[in-house]
Structure formats: structure tokens, C-alpha cells
Amino acid sequence: MSADHGGDIDHGHPHPGMEADYELGYYARRAQAIESLMIEKGILTSQEIQGMLDSIERRSPTDGARVVAHAWFNEEYKARLLDDPESALKELGYELPETTPKLTVVENTDAVHHMVVCTLCSCYPRMLLGRPPDWYKSLVYRSRAVVDPRGIMQEFGLNLEEEVEVRVLDSTADMRFLVVPRRPAGTEDLTEEKLACLVTRDSMIGVTDALSPQPAAIAD
């Protein structure tokens, strides 16, 4: 598995049936209609919409990894992030537009594991993770995640103990979720920068854990 949390994570194996089977044309037309309606009603100008789109396009899982690493490094910050994500994100320079859907941040622990899906379409915390991966948008993932989350995670290489409670979180047009994965053991002496290298996009969706520290990957 690659430690590059800035792009698509290569797990070394395919995920059968999780190809992008959505219809891009439909979503493009829907977005265009909503944009036109917002401009028509004076809610936003075309320049403001373009500015938000440009901001989202610049985001990547690196941004989410930075937030998670800071939460691992600073317990007080993590508490603020879980309680009031919007205010906590401002501390790191991430200011969410008023029109951005509400963001809920959850923490994976030894007792509870969260996994995010959008059963309706492909709602995703783009403000922190950038574009969603194709498999996240696939009908197979969206339908299986709610009925067989452990099976999905196993395909990504994650096998949870039976006693761990799995909670599937369904994103909506009004709500997005970000998972703070469990901090790997043996990382007590790592800097925030090196911790961020262990946080992958998939771990912030909840289909995997964060990476275990590898000397070659985190060495100066």
C-alpha cells in the first residue's frame, strides 16, 4: 500500500465491482441547474461560486491528513475538532463557506469503528479530501457498505476484531463526515509532519486504518 495520502491509494489489489458506474452527465446537469438557481435568486454570484469551486479543486487528502495529525498530536485540539469542527478547522486555516454542508468529525477507537458512505450519490468532504475516489461513487460500494461493511473493509485489507462495533455513516446533501482513524502504535515520538504521512484518504473514509510507521517512510 502506498503512503501517498495525496492521491488515490494503491492497495495492491483491485476491488471487483466497485468501478465508477454512476452517470456523470446527470450530476453535471444537476449541479448546473442548482448553480443557475442560486445566481437567479441572488444567493451567490457566479464569481463567488467559481471561487468556491477553485478552492475545492485545490484540496486533497493532504489537507485532511494535516488535520488528523494535529488532532493526534494535540488531545485538546482533537476534543475541539470532535465538538465543533468548523471552529477547530479555522485554527488551521480552513474556513468553510456558509454554503458548505455541515461537517461532523468522528473518531475511530479500539471499541468503535466508523465507515462513511453516501448511499444516494457521492456526498463527500471535498473541502478537506478533494475529489472522491471512483469506488466511493460506485453503486456497489454504496449498496454494500450498509449491509456488509466488514466485507468491504476486508477487501481493503482491514480485518476488525468481532467485538469492535462498526457504525456506517450515511452522508447527505446537508451532512458530511470525516473519520479520525486510530493513531498507530509506536508513533509517540513522531512529529506532526511524519504523523500526517501515515494518514491516508481511505483511513479518513474508514475503509482502512492509518498506516503503521515504517522507518524508511518516515525517516528524515
Q: Which of 122, 138, 171, 203 is catalytic?
A: 122
Q: What is the pLDDT of residue 122?
A: 87
Q: How many domains does the chain have?
A: 1
Domain annotation covers residue 54 = yes
Model confidence band, residue 146 (pLDDT cutoffs 50, 70, 90): very high
Average pLDDT of the segment spanning 149-176: 96
CATH number of the domain within which 80 lies: 3.90.330.10
Domain annotation covers residue 73 = yes
Domain annotation covers residue 104 = yes
Q: Which of 36, 123, 138, 203 is catalytic?
A: 123
Q: Which of 55, 118, 138, 143 is catalytic?
A: 118
The phi and psi torsions of 115 (rounded to 5 degrees) equal -135, 135
Which one, of 104, 115, 35, 41, lies nearest residue 96 by Cα?
104
Assess whether 197 carries a catalytic annotation. no
Question: How do residues 36-82 score in pLDDT, each as one tens digit?
Answer: 887 888 877 877 666 666 555 667 899 999 999 999 999 999 999 99
Domain annotation covers residue 10 = no
Q: Which of 2, 55, 60, 121 is catalytic?
A: 121
Which one, of 189, 183, 179, 187, lies nearest residue 210 by Cα?
183
Which residues span the domain enclosing 153?
A: 24-218
C-alpha cell at 115: 465507515
The phi and psi torsions of 52 (rounded to 5 degrees) equal -65, -40
Alpha-carbon distance 50 to 92, whole Å? Answer: 23
Domain annotation covers residue 8 = no
Domain annotation covers residue 14 = no
Domain annotation covers residue 4 = no
Domain annotation covers residue 19 = no
